[in-house]
Structure 1
Amino acid sequence: MAHVTETTGKYSELVARLALLANGWTVHKAETDEAYDILARDPLTGDYAKIQVKTVRQRMDRGGDLVVYAKKGNGTNYDLADADYIVGVWAVDGEVPRVFMFENRLCGEYWCAEARASERWIELSIAINRELLAAA
């Protein structure tokens, strides 16, 4: 049986893929291990982007702020060769997950107050919008 952190990470990656697809991105899966989790094509520009997926955590000891820890397995920050964007998936038990996307600014941690998350970060819906997809 998979460890809870591995299961949570895989869940976050699948939810991120779902949100990107629902918002018109073309999502690719690498056959080999890469530094990024997802390679996707932006529906507006046609540019490809390397995306690193992380699970959002809520820090009650920091006033309920949301935090995305964006470090590689070796403890270093993701550079632009690794990821253009970070996608954070906030999955509270029993609730529909929320997905936030933001540019990789080479930080090890990204913080945001819960009340301002959808203002500061781009929130991606997981609900499909067929009109948006047809227009692309």
Structure 2
Amino acid sequence: MTSPPLQIPMVDYLVLEAGKPPHLKANRCVECSALFFDRRNACARCGSRTFESKDLERTGFLRSFTIVHRAAPKVPAPYVSAVVDLDGGGVIKANLVGVEPDPAYVKLGGRVRLTTFVVGTDDDGTDAVAFGFEQEQ
């Protein structure tokens, strides 16, 4: 019996745990509940220095988007860059995947769901995993 390939997230706030669906986590300020994806020495809203980890919902709605036509070398374009309001709190910028990069196909205000995908595999067979959002039907 072969074991599944080892997978590592491309960013620290993407959580890949065996037996659980992939999800995002944030640092939540204990004083004012502001959410941050990166490490903080102090809260940008209230100045508190106390944080706790908070698992975020996998669903939300599409707040805003743009179609990117010119990208860095080796990055396929066009693609949809989006801002997602997560259910239960949190806002994140990510790509909208699985949709034609044309405004006629993107549902502003529509429901979206977190998805993950492999972006590369090293010589030892370890997968690098990224995330994006898909429109719900």
Pairwise same-fold verdict (TM > 0.5):
no
The structure with the greater share of residues assigned to strand is: 2
Larger relative CO (CA 8 A, sep 6+): 1 or 2? Answer: 1
* TM-score for the superposition, normalised by structure 2: 0.27
The structure with the greater share of residues assigned to helix is: 1
* TM-score for the superposition, normalised by structure 1: 0.27
Structure of greater Rg: 2
